[in-house]
Amino acid sequence: MLIASVYVQNVTLQNLTIIRGDTLFRPDSQEIPGHNLTSMQPMNDHAYALFVSFNFMPSSDAIGMRLLGLKNLTGLYWY
């Protein structure tokens, strides 16, 4: 699950309980429009079931995510 380039203050996924999948997110092999992931180190060999990043407007201190509501998330499973 990738949450990136979200410029709202609150993202509430209160009913999300489990993230499942067969492919993990690898920052060094993925692209997020407007962001250079190759400069993000030392994550080169890491993979994630949940990756939250770049959720702010670089030109503003007032625009960006302040709350990620995952209060019912109990597990991350991948195969």
Element (H, E) at 3: strand 2-4
Cα gap 16→40, rounded to integer Å: 28
Q: Which band of pLDDT confidence, cut at 50, 70 and 90, is reported for residue 26?
A: confident
Instruction: Give the phi and the psi of residue 75 in degrees, each rounded to 5.
Output: -165, 155
Tokens 């503003």 correspond to 60
Mean residue pLDDT across the chain? 80
Specify whether the CB–CB gap between 10 and 66 falls below 8 A.
yes
On whether the pTM is more than 0.75, the answer is no
Burial class (CB in 10 A: 0-12, 13-18, 19+), 30: exposed
Q: Residue 4 pLDDT > 60, yes or no?
A: yes
Query: Which tops the pLDDT comparison, 48 or 34?
Result: 48
Query: Which tops the pLDDT comparison, 53 or 14?
Result: 14
At 9-19, the pLDDT tens digits run 899 999 999 99
Query: Which tops the pLDDT comparison, 2 or 59?
Result: 2
